[in-house]
Structure 1
Amino acid sequence: MSDAVKYATTADGTRIRYDVLGEGEPLLLFNGQALDIEMWDGVREELARAHRVVRMDFRGTGGSDVPLEDPYTLELFAHDALAVLDDLGITRAHVYGFSMGGKVAQALAHAAPERVGSLVLGATAPGGENEVPRAHSSTVALRKAATDEGRDLIAELFYTPEWASGNPDQVTRILPRGPLRALRLHFAASTDHDGWDLLPHIWSPTLVVHGEDDQLTPVGNAELLATRVPGAELLVLPGLRHGYLHEGHPKATEAVLDFLARYPLPA
């Protein structure tokens, strides 16, 4: 069991920060847009009771390098993830992607299906014109996330008011982490992605998890994903918003662990 911070180097020389906790079949976690690995605090520890859990910061956030010369894409993030797996000598891993990280998980499952075991898509969407759009007010909140006003707006989108007020440290963990230019590159990467035509070609066992009252990524997107990915299962959690994995813990985490246990990696 290890929790030391490490770095993988990508083909273009970018250093990607990651850490590892637990033992068992590897489980790779993908952060939400412009968030760092701390967003998984609390949840990761429970996942690590059954898995070797790998967290990584996408380029531009947290402890990873911040190249700003070229646009970011979700396919680029997926290849950064492969660099992390290669650095660890992991040939195949389960993947759990949250929000934008769920889109990266879709891209990885399509680009390198042999590297992906089971797939968990949390609070995410297919992208493109088929995506059920969020309200304009939610987009405004994202753009203001780095301000004092934005903190309250983002907290309301992620959690019920009562839960947010009782968990201020968790609210801090879901605020953007990185320079403004990098945050804009993350926003563009997520917004420009269209995975609609990729979804029918994902053959990994897939669980789609979503909060019923999610306004940041409306729950209709979960239904689209579950219909579009062959054989996908759908779990909608009543009364929860975008941050279902925190406010709905441990129930949401147990559901993920139960799903992964049903689909062990090939020997």
Structure 2
Amino acid sequence: MPPAHPVLLRQFIPTSAGPLHVASMGEGLPVLLLHQTPRSWDEFRDVLPLLAQRYRPIAIDTLGFGDSCKPPPAEHSIERWASLALEVMDQLGIRKAAVVGHHTGAVTAMEIAASAPERVAALVLSSCPYNDEARRSAHAGKRTVDDVEVRTDGAHLQELWQRREPFYPQGDTDLLTRFMVDALKAGPMASHGHIVVRNYHMEDRIGLVRAPTLVLRAGRDPHAAPYSERIAQAIADCQWQTLEDGMVPMPDQMPDLFAAAVMDFLQRSC
């Protein structure tokens, strides 16, 4: 029986790319949590104790983000991030886990399920884009949402806040502040992480997913919501659920509903 008040454990896990920071709680089936660009484990800060009532959630700071090591942007790819997540599982002695990803993390989660199906008990793709040749061509060379030019007077910080503000609940300065902290930690990866997603050939990989899958759609997320049906149709044994008021920061915007959707799915699938 998991403890009534699970303790948060934060640690650095050695990998072939250097140490990755991990935050975990609870006992039971491991549930890997993968964040969006340019966030960190903090995106799941309020989800962790909810999942820990029944499972062992493990939130990884992706290479280049949060407190994980930060190699140059050119050394990043979705395939490498997926491989490093599997290394973390190995280091923690985890043979098989449920994998939950949001935005960028969903793309990485898909690659984990495609490249190592025997390691994935279930898959949750939250606000996942469909990155095929059409999307790569449409976005090629375009400025990303978090691409701001650093200025000596600090005006770029206000610009970054204002570029993100339309995709967050009105007046919620706490969520935006948490975003800003992670964006500053990420440095150039705050923008480049989006390009890593753009470079991923999802159309070649999505058909390899075999795990029971939930496509979790944020109803008020213009960047990802339009792709949900297409993704669900491309994966066998796939379910689809919408959180109507969900926005870009859905896990930390509505942790109760997010965690409930994940747990309900895992109860049915694992």
Give the TM-score range, shorter chain: 0.7 to 0.9
SS of the equivalent of 2:76 reads coil
Match of 2:161 in 1: 151
Counterpart of 1:205 (choices 195, 212, 223) is: 212
Partners of 1:122 and 1:178 lie apart in 2 by: 23
Please give the alpha-carbon distance, in whole angstroms, between the structure 2 residues aligned to 1:200 and 1:100. 19
Distance 1:133 1:226, change over 3 A: farther
Q: Which residue of 1 aligns with 2:77?
A: 73
Residue 145 of structure 2: aligned partner: 141
2:108 is matched with which residue: 89, 104, 111? Answer: 104
Per-residue CA deviations over 1:163-194 (Å, capped at 9, x if unaligned) read xx2x4222222332435333344232112112
1:72 offset after TM fit, Å? 0.5
In 1, the alpha carbon distance for the partners of 2:89 and 2:184 equals 23
8 Å CA contact retained: 1:59, 1:77: yes
Counterpart of 2:195 in structure 1 is 188
Superposition deviation, residue 154 in structure 1: 1.2
2:179 to 165, 174, 196: 174
Q: Which runs of 5+ in 2 are unaligned?
A: 1-5, 150-155
Residue 241 (structure 1) aligned with residue 253 (structure 2): no
**Aligned Cα RMSD in Å?**
2.5
Matched, 1:89 2:99: no
Aligned residue for 2:61? 57
Cα distance, 1:140 vs structure 2: 5.0
CA distance in 2, matches of 1:168, 1:134: 32
Q: Quick check: 2:146–2:191 contact (8 Å CA) kept in 1?
A: no
What amino acid is aligned across from residue 7 of structure 1 in structure 2?
Answer: F
- Post-superposition CA distance 1:126-180 (Å, at most 9, x none): 21225599999x95532249621221331321x331xxx2x42222223324353
Residue 48 of structure 1 deviates from its aligned partner by 1.3
Contact 2:129 2:223 (C-alpha < 8 Å) held by counterparts: no
Instruction: Tell me the SS of whatever aligns to 2:217.
Output: strand
Which residue of the partner structure matches residue 169 of structure 2? 160
CA-to-aligned-CA distance 1:56-77 (integer Å, 9 cap, x gap):
1111111111111743101100
Q: Is the 8 A contact 1:29 1:95 kept in 2?
A: yes
Give the partner amino acid of 2:51: L
Alpha-carbon distance in structure 1 between the residues aligned to 2:88 and 2:159: 36
Counterpart of 1:43 in structure 2 is 47
- 1:231, distance to aligned residue in structure 2 (A): 2.0
Distance 1:259 1:185 in 2: 32
Which residue does the alignment assign to 2:153?
Answer: none
- Which amino acid in the other structure matches residue 210 of structure 1? R
In structure 2, distance between residues paired with 1:169 and 1:121: 25
Q: What SS class does the counterpart of residue 123 from structure 2 fall into?
A: strand
- Which shifted more, 97-106 or 70-79? 70-79
Query: Aligned residues: percent identity?
Result: 23
Report the secondary structure of 1:245's partner residue.
Answer: helix
Distance 1:147 1:193 in 2: 29
Residue among 223, 226, 229 paired with 2:232: 226
TM-score (structure 2 length as normaliser): 0.86
Gaps of 5+ in 1: none
**TM-score, normalization: structure 1?**
0.87
Partner Cα distance (1:199, 1:28) in 2: 19
